[in-house]
Every structure is written in structure tokens, then in C-alpha cells.
Structure 1
Amino acid sequence: MRVVLLLIRVLAIATITFSIGLCNGIPGWPPLCKESERQALLMFKQDLEDPANQLSSWVADEGSDCCRWTGVVCDHITGHIHELHLNSSDSDWGSDSFFGGKINPLFAHNNGFSTQIPSFFGSMTSLTHLNLGYSLFDGVIPHKLGNLSSLRYLNLSFNDLKVENLQWISGLSQLKHLDLSSINLRKASDWLQVTNMLPSLVELDMFDCELDQIPPLPTPNFTSLVVLDLSLNIFYSLMPRWVFSLKNLVSLHLSFCGFQGPIPSISQNITSLREIDLSNNSISLDPIPKWLFNQKFLELSLEVNQLTGQLPSSIQNMTGLTALNLGRNKFNSTIPEWLYSLNNLESLHLSRNALRGEVSSSIGNLKSLRHLDLSGNSISGPIPMSLGDLSSLVELDISGNQFNGTFIEVIGQLKMLTYLDISSNSFKGTVSEVSFSNLTKLKHFIAKGNSFTLKTSRDWLPPFQLENLQLDSWHLGPEWPMWLQTQTQLTYLSLSGTGISSTIPTWFWNLTSQLGYLNLSHNQLYGEIQNIVAAPGSTVDLGSNQFTGALPIVPTSLFWLDLSNSSFSGSVFHFFCDRPDEPKQLYVLHLGNNLLTGKVPDCWMSWQDLGFLNMVNNYLTGNVPVSIGYLQQLDSLHLRNNHLYGELPHSLQNCTMLSIVDLGGNGFVGSIPIWMGKSLPWLNVLNLRSNEFEGDIPFEICYLKSLQILDLARNKLSGTLPRCFHNLSAMANLSESFQSPLFGISVFDEPYTVPENEILVTKGVEVEYTKILKYVKSMDLSCNFMYGEIPEELTSLLILQSLNLSNNRFTGRIPSKIGNMERLESLDFSMNQLHGEIPPSMKNLTFLSHLNLSYNNLTGRIPESTQLQSLDQSSFVGNELCGAPLNKNCSANGVIPPPTVEQDGGGGYRLLEDGWFYVSLGVGFFTGFWIVLGSLLVNMPWSILLSQLLNRIVLKMYHVIVEYV
């Protein structure tokens, strides 16, 4: 008996060895593959780019067996190529196919194939598998692929391919898997007719194929279909009834298709469905078809369908639900009690609705729950203790609600938790290390935006190893949390505003080498930083602290660095110009509000990836160097309030991506460059306030159709206003909006907004705009020497919110159509020489809360409107106006009654005398000022400051003379 068993084993081993030899070839054995097919593959390889050398085994050496080449599988009897896989061999992720094993969906992204699919593939009639997914092929799909009658698996997905029709597929009668995802099938109106003729089809993937019609299908023939994915197409119709009559269908994906109306009712008793994704449509749940009540182990997603009102009570009949996603809709009720009876639920997502009320203690009934997401609602009250009974819970997200109280004790019972997000609620209280003793599996702890105080012993050893920790606004300080030293797997750390007042310990920088995100901003950290250590491509925010000393050395691979609002000092030369041969990958750099000195460095050729540069409110001097033109990716440039001077370099016009230019509060001279209007087409914000620019405003400024903020105030500009301002589309058209790519840059999975800000004079006061900057529309040309009439074309800027032309020499009348600018909230024409009446249309400015027309030559009655009569009298003084809110009554024809001698009292002469007195006083001060401080003018930065001050004094003197003399 033993001899027989031994013989069977020997025969089995021999058979396996022989089989392997036939499939893969054995050294010394004759080549197995067909020479014609081998030569065809070699010719094909010549047309490919393969920098990753993935096809290195495809060689022309004599005796090289193509059946042993990468991606090639041969029939072990005939020697014909049986399978051809050109997808990535090193991909570490994939999806299970229905034929067993692993199908890698990601082609080697660095292979760079860029050619058409060769027609000779159609001659390999023994092929059963052809996988060309993610291969960067382009052109038209060759119809000869229809000759592959043995084909069972065909994947052409995610290539730049297109077709006129799909008739060539109809001959692939044995096809079981067809993936044409992300191929342009817009012209293939026969797609359903053809695929319906494939009776063996098990999986059909047509994700993102630009299909625009899904016709009715009276008799579906592909009844073997198990997986159907038609997501991200443009049907915009009712959902087809035939889809839900496929009795073997297990997985159905119809998201992002524009489907409308209810889920169809059907007569068949279908029980096979396990996954239905109808998200991102406009589907109604009134009513829910009864066939859904019979589904077992069903995962249903109705996310983003504009569903409103209460959660439909008929959902409680779907007792087989294991996953329910109703997130991102508009439900505005409380969470119904019946929802807690769906005790088979393993995943429940109700995020980003308007749900309110409290969570019932009945939530403890959902014993199978593993994933719970209630984020982004208005749910309030404490967390019920019964939540601790959900012992299977792995992920819990209740962020962005109004929960209150202290519930860490409840969380401490959830031993399986790996992900916990309680951020942006109203929790408060003290948290001790005991609360975390059972959370040994926790990897992500996101709790920012609450008022907890963490109290632990100095030698506390947390039971978890976190990857993501966010405790912003907790009270952790004043000492540095020493327990962080144990968290060696962190990749994301945010401790902003946690009251830490200390230096950063040296050991901390040993942890940061793997951090992709570090935020320690808004604390009281102090001391010097020698080196910043961070992972390649990472974000480091150390802003709003009390650091001192020179700027630190930073890795060249950093993506985002914020060192603003501290006390860093010294020259910036070494920071920018050391290691000139190492290109910097930094995209966002914020050094504003420090004590930095020296000239703007002239080594920008090493910083060509910069998109955002902010060095406002420092003590930088000198000219802007020519090398700034190397920053051709620059989107936002902030150099406000330094001691810079000279003319703007012409090379700045090479930075054609600029959307924000803020150079205010310096000493720049010359005229406003014409190239600004020609070379910076994406400019949204132009702030040249408080400089020494002179000459006319170039009409090329009108080319800036995206301009939303224009601030040229406090310069020496002259000339008339351009009549082409109506071309500034972003100020004229409601449809135009701020399109700067820097707003909402995404870091990890959440948007981290670039710290954009602008200081503008609005309603007579300086206002700093940050988060709402992209919505501001403002024009300020005040305190210049401009003259002429205010052009009527200016009133075409219909959505301008703030307009300031004060302290100039404008003459003529206020434009009659000023009332068309109905979005105006602030309007200042004061200290000019305007005459005539206030246009009646001004009463249409219903948003106006600040108006200054003082010290002009306006006459007549103030138009009557609730808005104008509610303004302060100071808005109209220095004119010959009458009517409310002034105390001067108008005659019947709107003229001010002539004053009597007693009323005048010689005040006019007194006013003239006062005017000459102030003029004399100003001249005397001017002379003394030069005698005492003239010697300082040899110092260029002092000369800039003094010049700006003198300019303002002379301007004030001028207006006194104009008004009173």
C-alpha cells in the first residue's frame, strides 16, 4: 500500500513539473512560443516608451522564449499566446476579478506608452485575456480585436481611446469581463445593443465614458451579469427599469449619472443585490419600491441626492441593510427612533445634512455597527452612555455638530476604535490618561475645536501609536507634552492654539522626519530654530509664535512653510541663497510680520516652484531684483509695508500666473507699468497703495478682466480716469468670481487655505480681509492728483462694493447712473471739485452704509430715501446741499434760502482767514522740518519715509487752499 502511495506522489510531482515547464519554459528545452507571435511582440515593443524597463525580458536573442516574458502567458499545449497583461507588475493594489486571482488595475504610470493599440493583437486568436488598462494608449480602438473569439477578459480602461461604434465586440461571445472605463464612447450609440448580445458577460464597466443615453431594453440577454458600473455618465433621465430586472446582479454602480425620479418598481423577486450606489443624482425616495425590502446584506448609497425633510420611514422595512449612506443631502429632522432598529447595520453615514436634536440612547441597539458618521449636522446634547455598548465600532465621526458635555469615558469603552473624529463641537472638561487606557488600536484622533484640558503625568506612556493627531484649541500647556516622544508613527500632527509656552525640544525633530503635516501655530513657542526636519512634500506651519534669531535651514523638498507673525530677524540672504545648486520645491512661503532685514535676495532662480510668497511687514530694502522673473509659477506676491524702492523690474511680466500683487506701503517710483495689463491676464488683486507712482493710469489696466480689487491710493498719479473701466468684467458681472488656484489648496484630505489677506480702506477705516477676500470687489484711487470728469462708464461696474475717488481734483457732475451700482456699500467722492446736484438714482443704493460727498461744490436737495436720510450729516458737509439729514431746509424748488447777515456773521471772511492761517502754519512746519531733518535724506530708506510723509502734508495743504482760498 505504501509503495502505491509513493508511486502516486512521484507521478503527481512529475506531472506538475512537466506542466510548469510547458507554461514557462525550462532552460535547455526548445522554445514554446510561436515565432510569428514573438516577432510581433518585439515589433510592438519598439514603438513603446518603457523608462521603467518593465519589458526588459522582451529580447530578440535567439532561443528567447516569449512564453517566459513579463506579462505573457502561453497555452501549454499549442504554444500560442493565451494571455497578455501590460498592466503594472509592481502595483501593490488591485481588485479581485471573477476569474480568481488579482487584476492589477494600475498600469506602470512611468512607462509612458503613447501609441495606438497595434492591429496585430487581433491575429492572436488564442488570447483569452487582454489587459491594456492604464497603458496610455491613444487613437481609435482597432476593430480587429473583434477577431479574438476566445477572449474572456478585455480591459482597455483609462486610455485616451475612442470609437465610432462597438460592433466589433459582438463577436466576442465568450467574453466575461469587459472594462471600457474612461474611454470616449460618445459616438457609440449602439453600446447597449452590442453588450446585450454577450450572454456570458459577468462584469461590465463603462465608468466615465461620456455616454448620454441609456435606452429601454425590453429583453435583457446578458442575464449572467454580476457587476454593472455605468457611473459618471451624462444620462439625465429616469432610471431604466431593465437594470433592476437582472436576476444575478450583485453590484450596481450608477453614481454621477444625473438620474431623476424614483427607483423603479419591478415585478420580479430579486434577492441577489448586495451593493447599490446611486449617489450624486437627483433620485426621489417617494416611494421606496418594495423589492428593496427583500434584499439581504445590502449596501445602499444615496449620498448627494438633494433629499429633504424627514428620513423616509419606509427605510425601516429594509431590515437586510448592512450599510446605509444618506450623507450630503438636506434632511432636516431629528434622527428617528426606528433607525436604531436596523440591527444588521454595520455602516451608517448621515453626514452633512441638517439633522438636529439629540442622539437617543437606543443607539446602543446597533450592536453590529462598525462605521458611524454623523458629521456636519446640528445634532446637540450629550453623547449617550449607550454608545459605549457598540463594541464593534471601528470608525466614529461626529465632527461639526453641537455636542456638549464630557464623554471621553464613553469613548474609552470602544476598544476596537481605530478612527475617532470629535472635532468642532462644544465638548469641554478635563481629560486624563485613564480615558485612553483601552484605546490600544487607535490610529487617528481628531479632536480640534473643543475646550478640553489634557492632564497627564510627565512620564505617561499612551497605549496607542497614532498616525494622525489633531488637538487644536485644547489646553495642553504651558509645558511641552513629553508623551509625544512615544508617538513614533505620526504622519500628521496639529497642535495649533494649545497654550504651549516653551522651546521645542531637540528630540522632537527626530519625529518630524516622517511628518507630512505639522502645525504648531498660535502658541507661545520661543527660542531659536536651527533646522527644520520634515518629510518630502510636507507642510510646516510654525506661524504666530515668539521665535527669534535667524531664519532656520529648511529641507529643499518642503512644500509649504509658514514662519509668519514671530520675531525672526536678520538678513534673509542665507535663507534664500545658500545651496544655490539645489532646486527648492517650496510652493507656499509665508515670512510676513517678522523683523527681517536686508535686500530682497537675487537668487530666485533656485525657487522656481514658488506659487505663494509673502514677506509683508518686515524691514526689507532695495530694489526688487530682476531674477524675480524666474518665478513663473508664482500666483501670489505680497511685499507690502517694507522699505523697497526703485522701479518695478520688467522681468516681473514673466510671472504670467500672478493673481495677487500687493506692493503697497513702499517707495516704488515711476509709472504703473503697461505690461501689467498685457502680461498678467489672471490678476485678481492689484495693490500699489502708498508708493510714489506717477503719471496716468495706463488704459491697459482695462485688459485685466479678472481684476476684483484695485488699490492705487496715496500715490502721485495724475491724468483722467480711463473710460475703459467697464471692461473690468470681474467688477461688472455677477457671474465672474475669484478663481485664484491658491484658495482651497488641499493638503491631505482637508482643505488648508493659503493665508491670503489684504488690508483695504473700506467705509473710511482699514479692514483686513482674509477668508472672504475672494468675494471682495473694491476700487480705491484716493489721494492722488487725478482730474477731469468721472466717466459714466465707471457706473458699469455693477457689482463693485467699495469705490473711493476722494482727495483728487475731479470736476463735473456725479455720474447720473451711479444708482446702477446697486451693490455699493461704501462710496467716497469727498475733497474734489464736483458740482451740480446729487443724482436721483443714488437712492437706489440700498446697500450703502458709508457715503462721503463732503467738501465739493454740490448743490440742491439730497434725494429722499431711507438709506440716504439715515447717514450722518458729515457725509454732506462742505457743499450747498439741503434736506435731511442736514438741518438746512430747502425751498419749494430745492434751493437753500439765502442766509441773512446775522446768520452769516462774517463767517465767510473768518473761514478765509482761518484757511490762510493753516496755510502759513503748514509752510512754517514744512520749512522747519527740512532744516532739522534734511541731513537724513542721504539715507535712502529714510528718504522714502520722509518723502511719503511730506507728500501727505502737501496734499492736505493743497485741499485747504482749494476749498478756502
Structure 2
Amino acid sequence: MTIFTSQMPLLLLLLLSVTTFHKSMCTNHTVVRCNEKDHETLLTFKHGINDSFGRISTWSTKKDFCAWEGVHCDNITGRVTEINLIYNHMEGDMNLCILGLEFLNYLDLSWNHFDVIRIPSIQHNITHSSKLVYLDLSYNYPILHMDSLHWLSPLSSLKYLNLSWIDLHKETNWFQVVSTLPSLLELQLSYCNLNNFPSVEYLNLYSIVTLDLSENNFTFHLHDGFFNLTYLHLRDNNIYGEIPSSLLNLQNLRHLDLSYNQLQGSIPSTLGNLSSLNYLFIGSNNFSGKISNLHFSKLCSLDELDLSNSNFVFQFDMDWVPPFQLSHLSLSNTNQGSHFPFWIYTQKSLQVLDILSSGISFVDRKKFSSLIERISFQILLSNNLIFEDISKLTLNCLFLSVDHNNFTGGLPNISPMAFEIDLSYNSFSGTIPHSWKNMKELRVMNLWSNRLSGKLPLYFSNLKQLQTMNVGENEFSGTIPVGMSQNLEVIILRANQFEGTILQQLFNLSYLIFLDLAHNKLSGSMPKCVYNLTNMVTIHETSLFTTTIELFTKGQDYVYEIQPERRTFDLSANSLSGEVPLELFRLVQLQTLNLSHNNFIGTIPKTIGSMKNMESLDLSNNNSVTFLGYLNLSYNNFDGRIPTGTQLQSFNASSYIGNPKLCGAPLNNCTRKEENPGNAENENDESIRESLYLGMGVGFAVGFLGIFGSMFLIRKWRHAYFRLVNRVGDYLYVTLIVKLNSFRRN
């Protein structure tokens, strides 16, 4: 014993030396590889990856895989225990051979761009993964497909599983497979295109505490059978029935999301017993009956509440002070009555307030001002009838939408960190505040349809992140500001009093897809320069926020939603002159082109034939723009009168042959009734022109193809041509005849 004790310091020193030597060997980034099997498995995984961003470049430059990006090893054994490659923009194959790492307990490959999942064909390759506790393959785009979940069976230690955004519609036994995982606590399968939910006798949720099956195709009756859950998300399925009593007896339930389903009935008062609840989303169902402060009397921990899109009768006491302080509240598309709910004024921690389209007209000015000034993230008050002057307020939220109200006075001060603001369809007046110069992060500015005036500030050139600028339907004047953001995708200056020439810089905005300068006082000629409007020539990915405006296109006014895939160019109703530059007709992705009501001259070039995406073309009311050089509408069974006073009369009758029900010049087969339709004296010349340009977008494509008339000497070409005519003729027939029939009815 004495001998052993005397040798103890030496033995400890030796053990320490060996441990230090082993660790130094495993951390020598240039010489030593800790385990050859782990090394080979990682290289096999890496082989199928296209790492265009170079996020895992260390996997090629460093020999020690324990120093590779996203790889973590045990300090003692040197074996791989964790792989975390979340949000690394990786593409290519997601090879699950990586599950063969014997000591792996954590794997996260979520939020990447893998194209396909490869599962090892030999089951024993992953039998050693019984140590795996955490597995997340979710949210890869484009959506991955997986036929079966059988490969999960060996993962007996798995506690967390997230396969959200993986298409599993071919897996019909998903729940049975999941039920074989004895340690599973958290299961997330949202957006998986699942359509079969297990019947109650197979429903085994005793071990699971977190269950997210939202955004699938389930159709089932919400029944009893939820046991130990603390987190339940079934959002956006087709679940029907009433909320079961067992669900409202889960004293540990913290998150409950049943929104966007077909649930019915009234909300039981026992909802108020869920004292641990901090997240309650039950909006967008078919619930009915009353809901009052009694339902929330014990929900002291409630933090987020969504009752939107509901038919509840709200009966909250005027003097009720809730036991909770919310950070998120959504009551959109509910009937709150004409007065802003008084209990909301007591919420001091709100970061998100969504109460749009709720019929609100009146607010307590002082309390309302204090409330919206302290909200830090999002305010949605759109589509109400709020009449209030907020010009002296400073709004500190990042997303602000108060459109379609009756707000008056000047524009409010906005947080320098604001990301998106929509103040459209109100009665704001005056000029744009000088304080707005600090909004360096602003992406979207929508001031459409107010009473704003003055010049656009020069500091607009400092808003370098701006992508959408909509100041249309106001009373702005002066010239278009120079030096605007190079990130602009949408510019709408329509229906103001802007003057001067069109700046050449507008044609160097490579992201621009929507330019509307119509109904102003712009003059001079269009710049003859290289048009670097890349996104109007080739479709590129855009970050455009969808927005809705009133637009004049296809010959009529209508509410129009600007979508990222549409390209529009509108300079109509100005005083522009000179020839239309050839560069304009090289913007082959344009779908709407309106140059009407100007003073353009010259001839439209043949290159317009390459604009195959054109849907609406309006060149009316210019001095001397020659449009169609050839027209052939034959054999289409068109019906009605050819609009008069247009270029359509400049072609001979052969252009219309094969349309026995078509009449009017240059044809002479109209009946007396057709020649003198009722109220003809009241027909508006502008309406007649609209009928022409309604179908012109298709007609010009057919017309310019006809320039190459010699092709019809070859039968194969001729047949191909008439097949094209038949296809576009269908569209032309519908649009033109509907318009002509409406003329006859008038």
C-alpha cells in the first residue's frame, strides 16, 4: 500500500501526459486525423455537396476534421459528436450516410438548399446512431421529397426530430414509425404534405411533449387523446369539431395553435384554466358565440394571442384590466365595434398589434397615441375608419400599415430603423418630414392616394435600401429627384405634377420591374442610351414586397396587385415627344407598355415582335406613331363591330376573312341595327380606343409575324403559323367580343 501511494504522483503525471499528448494529437490541424472511419464518412457526405458560398471550405484545407466548420468532436476520444451546418447555403445531396458516425448525438442540416435526400441502402450503416438525440433536416428549399421514414427506426435515443418542409405524402405509416421511437419528446412535421392522421386507438402521445403538425392536409375530428403536451401546433389543416375537454385540462400546456381550421362551436370557459398558457392562436375557424374577459381571467402567463378572422361576439368589460401583458395581439377581421377596445390600452409590452379590418372609427386620442408610440415591431391598423391626427407622433415600429383610414394632418415621424411603411389611402397633407432622412433601412414606402404636396426631398438619394417607392395620386411637384436607390424595383410617381425631363438614371436601375410616371407634366424626349434594366430583359430573383394599387392597363382602371413576376412600363398622359428609343423594345419581359397621350412620332420597329410576354400595349393619342404594318385576324369566328376611328380601318377586308359575324369598315355587311346602335351618339371615343388596345397586346405579335409573309409558301411553316393564330385568337376573341357586346348593350 505504501509502495502504491508513493508511486501515485508518478502515475498521475504519466496519465496527465498521455491525456495531454492525445488532445494535442487531436488538435494538430495539419498532421493528425483522429479517426479514419469518421473521416471517411465526413468526406462521403461532403462529396455530394455544392458549397458555392464556401461555407465549409475548411473541409478541404484542414486535415483534422475536428477543426472543420460545423464539426465538433469529443475532447477525450476525438470522435465526432455534433454536426451543425444550419443556414450554410449548401446545395446538392443530403447524404444520410452521416448517420453512420458512431458517436454522433446532434445533427442539424436545416435552412439550406439541398436538392435531394440520399438514405443509405444498407440498414446497418446507421445502426450505430442509437446515440443520436437531436435531428433537424427542416426548411430546405426547394422542398425535399422522402418516400419513407423507415430509416428512423434504429434511432432509439432520439428526443428531438424536425422534418418540416420535407414532402412525405408517400409515407402512409408515418405515425407508426414515429411511435417506435421510445425516447421522442419533440416532433415537428409541419409543411410535410401529410394527409392521413391516425385514429384515436393508434394515437400514442404519452411521451411527446411538443407536437407540430401544422400546414398539412389532415382532415379529422379533433378528439380526446392529448396527454402530456406542452406545445401543440395544428395550424392550417382541415380539422373540424369542437375543442375537446381533455385539451383544456392540460395544465402544462404553454403553446396552442389551432388557427386556420374548421373548428366549430363556442369556446369553453375552461379555457381560462390553462394557467401556463403563453401562446394562444385560435383564429380563422368557425367558432361562434360570446368571448369575454372571463375566458382569460386566469391566463396570467399569456404572451401572444390571435383571435383573428372570427365571428365571436366580443364582450369585454369597459374597465377590464387583463392579468397578462401581451407582446403579440391579432384581432384582424373581427367585429370590435366602432370604439377601439379599451383593454388594449393597458398592454404596455406590445410589439405586434394587428387589428386591421375591424370596423374601428373612434379612439381615445391620448391613450391611442401612447399605445402606438411604444409598439416596437409591427402596427397593422389598415382598413378601418380611424379619423385622427398623428402628425406629432413618433412611431417606433419597423413595419407600419395604417392604410385605408381617415388619418389627417401631416405625416408622423418614423423610426430610423423602419423597414416598411404603408400610409396609403388616407388624408395626410403637407410635405414629407425632414426627419424621414434618417430611415436608412427603409425598403418599402407607400404614400399612394393622399393630399401630400411639395417637392420630393433631395435626401431620398440617401435611402439606399429602398426597393418600392410609391408616391402616386398626390400633389407632389418639381422634378424627379436624382440619385435614387440602386435597389429600387418599383417606382410609382403617377398622377402628380412632376415636370422636367425623364432622368437617364432611371434606365440604369438593374432591379427595376415596375415604372409608372403616368399623368404628370413630364416633357422632352426619352433618353437614347443603353437601358440597363436587367430585370426587364431577363427574369431574376426579386425581393419585391407585394403591394396593391389602382392601375390603368388593358384599357381600364382596376385594383392591381404588383407581383414580382410582372413587368410594367407606363409613361402615359405626359407631354413627351420625339421618337420612341429602340432600346425600349428590347425589354422583352415587359407585360404592360403604355405610351399613350403623348407627342411621340416615328415608327414602331420590327423588334417589338420579340416582346413575347406583352399583354397590354397602348400607343394611342400620339402625333404620328405608325403601329401595325400587317394584320391578319382571319378565320377566328369573331363576332361584332370593328371599332371605328382606329388603325383597324387601314387594313383591307382580307385581314378579316373567315369571321362571318364580324362587321364594320373595312367590311360592309353590317345590318342597319348594327350600323346605328342605340345611344351611338353618346359613345365615348376614348372607350372605343380602349377596345382596340385591350386586344392589341396579342394582336401585335400576330401582326409582326406576318411581316415575314413569304414563310407561308412553305406548308409546314404555314401550319405552324395558323396553330399560333388559333391559340392567340382565343384570347383575342374573348377580350374583343366582350367589349363589342358591351357597346351594343349600351
TM-score (normalizing by structure 1): 0.56
Tell me the CA shift for residue 431 of structure 1. Answer: 0.9
**798 and 337 in structure 1: CA distance in 2 versus 1, 3 angstrom threshold:** farther
In the alignment, structure 1 residue 567 sits paired with structure 2 residue 438: no
Q: Which residue of 2 aligns with 1:272?
A: 131
Superposed, 1:628-643 pairs within 5 Å as 628-643=460-475
Residues 626, 495 of structure 1: alpha-carbon distance in 2 compared, 3 angstrom cutoff: closer
Partner of 1:683: 512
| Aligned-partner Cα distance in 1 for 2:550–2:491 | 13
Structural RMSD (CA): 4.9
Q: Which residue of structure 1 lines up, in the alignment, with residue 215 of structure 2?
A: 352
Shift of 1:698: 1.6
Out of 294, 301, 307, the residue aligned to residue 162 of structure 2 is: 301
Residues in 2 aligned to 1:635 and 1:283: alpha-carbon distance in whole angstroms = 34
CA distance in 1, matches of 2:411, 2:577: 47
For 1:286 and 1:798, locate their aligned partners in 2 and report how far apart those are by CA, in whole Å: 45
Cα distance in 1 for partners of 2:669, 2:227 equals: 88
Cα distance in 1, alignment partners of residues 350 and 575 from structure 2: 59
Aligned pair partner of 1:698 in 527, 532, 535:
527
CA deviation vs aligned residue, 1:173-231 (integer Å, no higher than 9, x gap): 9xxxxxxx99954364486x744xx8xxxxx884299xxxxxxxxxxx96865434455
Which residue of 497, 504, 524 corresponds with 2:357?
A: 497
Counterpart of 2:3 in structure 1 is none
| Equivalent position of 1:452 in the other structure | 312
Select between 873-882 and 325-334 the one with higher mean Cα deviation.
873-882
Name the residue aligned to 2:433: 576
Partner in structure 1 of residue 343 of structure 2: 483
C-alpha distance 681-414 of structure 1, shift in aligned 2 (>3 A): same
Structure with the bigger RCO (C-alpha within 8 Å, sep 6+) is: 2
Q: Secondary structure of the residue that 1:775 maps to in structure 2? A: coil
- The residue aligned with 1:186 is 57
Aligned counterpart in structure 2 of residue 252 of structure 1, from 107, 122, 125: 107
Instruction: After TM superposition, give the deviation of residue 549 of structure 1 in Å.
Output: 4.1
Q: 1:510 to 1:695 in 2, by over 3 A?
A: closer
In the alignment, which residue of structure 2 is the partner of 1:470? 330
1:761 Cα offset (Å): 1.7
Aligned partners of 1:613 and 1:251: how far apart in 2? 44
**How many residues were matched structurally?**
629
* Counterpart pick for 1:864 among 635, 645, 661: 635
Q: Is the CA contact (8 Å cut-off) linking 2:526 and 2:576 kept in structure 1?
A: no
Letter in 2 for 1:864: Y
Name the counterpart of 1:327: 190
Alpha-carbon separation, structure 2, partners of 1:250 and 1:818: 61
Sort the Cα spacing of 1:408 and 1:796 in 2 relative to 1 into closer, same or farther, 3 A.
Answer: farther
User: Secondary structure of the equivalent of 1:434?
Assistant: helix
Q: Which whole-Å CA distance do the structure 2 matches of 1:818 and 1:780 have between them?
A: 16
Equivalent pair of 2:417/2:440 in contact (CA under 8 Å): no
Q: Name 1:774's counterpart in structure 2.
A: 564
Taking a change above 3 Å as real, the CA distance of residues 496 and 659 of structure 1, as seen in their structure-2 partners, is: same
Equivalent-residue separation in structure 1 for 2:560 and 2:388 (angstroms): 31
Which residue does 2:393 correspond to in 1? Answer: 532
CA apart distance, 1:808: 7.1
Match of 1:214 in 2: none
Matched, 1:653 2:448: no
Return the offset for 1:466: 2.1
Distance between the aligned counterparts of 2:279 and 2:595, measured in 1?
56
Map of 1:261 onto structure 2: 118
Once residues 394 and 70 of structure 2 are traced to their aligned partners in structure 1, the CA distance between those partners, rounded to angstroms, is 42
Q: Is the 8 A contact 1:166 1:188 kept in 2?
A: no
Partners of 1:433 and 1:253 lie apart in 2 by: 43
CA gap of 1:643–1:883, structure 2 versus 1, over 3 A, is same
Distance 1:514 1:552, change over 3 A: closer
Correspondence 1:163-562 to 2 at 5 A: 166-168=29-31, 170=33, 184-186=55-57, 188-189=59-60, 194-195=64-65, 206-207=69-70, 225-229=80-84, 231=86, 234=90, 236-237=92-93, 239=95, 241=97, 243-244=99-100, 246=102, 248-255=103-110, 256=112, 260-262=117-119, 265-266=123-124, 268=127, 271-280=130-139, 282=144, 284-286=146-148, 288-289=150-151, 291-292=153-154, 295-296=156-157, 298-309=159-170, 311-313=172-174, 314-315=176-177, 317-320=179-182, 321-334=184-197, 337=200, 340-353=203-216, 355-361=217-223, 364-409=224-269, 411-512=271-372, 514-516=374-376, 517-529=378-390, 531-532=392-393, 538-552=398-412, 562=422
Which amino acid is 1:265 matched to? Q
CA contact (8 A) 2:418 2:439 kept: no
1:873 Cα offset (Å): 3.9
Residues 507-548 of structure 1: CA distance to partner in whole angstroms, max 9, x if unpaired? 4444556421333333233343464355x5544444433334
Residue 765 of structure 1: CA displacement?
A: 0.7
Q: Which amino acid aligns with 1:186?
A: S
The aligned runs of 1:803-822 (5 Å cut-off) are: 803-804=593-594, 821-822=611-612
Residue type of the partner of 1:227?
E
Q: Specify whether residues 393 and 884 from structure 1 end up closer, same or farther in structure 2 by C-alpha distance, changes over 3 A only.
A: farther
SS in 2 for 1:676: helix
Q: Deviations over 1:617-669 (max 9, x none)?
A: 444555555554444444443333344444445xx135444333322223333
Q: In structure 1, what is the Cα distance between the partners aligned to 2:583 and 2:592?
A: 16
Distance apart, 1:345 and its partner CA: 1.3
1:625 and 1:240 map into 2 onto residues whose CA distance is 56
Q: How far apart are 1:327 and its partner, in Å?
A: 1.6
Q: CA deviation at 1:607?
A: 5.7
Alignment of 1:96-135 (within 5 A): none
Output the CA distance in 2 between the equivalents of 1:351 and 1:556.
36
Please state whether the residue corresponding to 1:567 is helix, strand or coil: coil
Q: 1:762 aligns with which of 553, 556, 562?
A: 553
Deviation at 1:694, TM superposition (A): 3.0
Corresponding residue for residue 43 of structure 2 = none
Distance 1:627 1:189 in 2: 48
SS of 2:506's equivalent in the other structure is helix
In the aligned structure 1, how far is the partner of 2:441 from the partner of 2:149? 54
Indicate if the aligned counterparts of 1:419 and 1:442 stay in contact, CA closer than 8 A.
yes
Q: Say whether residues 1:874 and 2:729 are aligned partners.
A: no
Conservation of the 8 A alpha-carbon contact between 1:759 and 1:769: yes
Task: Give the TM-score normalised by structure 2.
Answer: 0.70
Instruction: Please tell me whether the aligned partners of residues 304 and 327 of structure 1 are also in contact (alpha carbons under 8 angstroms).
Output: yes
Query: Deviations along 1:378-400, whole A, 9 cap, x unmatched?
Result: 44454444432434321112233
Q: Give the share of equivalent positions with the same residue, in percent.
A: 26
2:557 aligned counterpart, secondary structure: strand
CA contact (8 A) 1:279 1:303 kept: yes
Mapped to 2, the partners of 1:769 and 1:643 lie a distance apart of: 22
Q: Is the 8 A contact 1:149 1:172 kept in 2?
A: no
Q: Which runs of 5+ in 1 are unaligned?
A: 1-77, 79-124, 129-146, 155-164, 174-180, 199-203, 210-220, 578-583, 587-603, 707-727, 744-752, 841-861, 919-965
Give the CA deviation at 1:288: 0.3
2:706 corresponding residue in structure 1? none
The 3 A distance-change label for structure 1 pair 407 and 275 is same
CA-to-partner distance for each residue in 1:491-513, whole Å, 9 max, x for gaps?
Answer: 32222222223233424444556
CA shift, 1:764, in A, is 0.9
Shift of 1:346: 1.1
- Give the CA deviation at 1:817: 8.1
Which letter does structure 1 place at the counterpart of 2:516? Answer: N
- The one-letter code of the counterpart of 1:365 is G
Question: For 2:94 and 2:384, how far apart are their aligned partners in 1?
Answer: 55
Q: Looking at CA atoms only, which structure, 1 or 2, has the larger radius of gyration? A: 1
Equivalent pair of 1:777/1:799 in contact (CA under 8 Å): yes
Q: What is the distance in 1 between the residues matched to 2:108 and 2:410?
A: 56
Q: Could you tell me which amino acid in structure 2 is paired with residue 260 of structure 1?
A: I
**Structure 1: which amino acid aligns with 2:99?**
V
SS, match of residue 366 in structure 2: coil
